[in-house]
Amino acid sequence: MLGDLTEQEVVEMLENNIVGRIGVGDGETTYIVPVSYLVQEGHVLCHSRMGLKIEMMRRNPHVCFEVDEVRDYNNWRCVIAWGIYKELTDEEEIKAAKAYFSEYMLTSKTEKTAEPPASQEERPHPGQVVYESPIFYIIQFTKITGRFEKEM
């Protein structure tokens, strides 16, 4: 059976996942890439390093966002949303976004192996880890749809 997800099922699906895909385009190239995200105040909050995706979204902020759950060919759910890319530039907004991601990750990753190798004596890391500051952004949705197939 094919069908549409309810608004509540769409929200639950977005909230219960942390990896989605962003589709971006600049008139010449289309690029679809997975991103980690969290739902916050009716939009998705993401972070990425500078690269093609960010460059393209800066040129054209209209994006498509997709999340799916697939058990098999006959049992799946998918949410597709269209929206606008908005880069966070205010230092307080960025600080809050970092804290939100950090809190979520700290409460989700509770296993010893989830710690970075450099922080574990028994897992020495051969070099100095250099972190590039991420770019935090939100996708403000303008339209959301959800579909499913369920084997009867």
pLDDT at 42: 84
Examine residue 49 and state whether it is found in any structural domain, yes or no: yes
What total of structural domains would you count in the chain?
A: 1
Closest CA to 138 of 53, 59, 47, 11: 47
Instruction: Indicate whether this model's pTM tops 0.75.
Output: yes
Residue partners of 125: CB distance under 8 A and separation at least 6: 116, 117, 118
Is residue 123, in this structure, part of any structural domain at all? no
- Per the document, the length of the chain is 152
Range of the domain at 25: 2-117+130-149
pLDDT score for 101: 86
Going by pLDDT thresholds of 50, 70 and 90, the confidence category of residue 113 is low
In a domain, 124, yes or no: no
pLDDT tens per residue across span 4-32 = 999 999 999 999 999 999 999 998 999 99
Residue 125 lies in a domain: no
* Residue range 26-47: mean pLDDT, rounded: 92
The residue among 41, 24, 135, 22 whose CA lies nearest residue 89 is 135
CATH of the domain at 19: 2.30.110.10
pLDDT of 136 reads 95
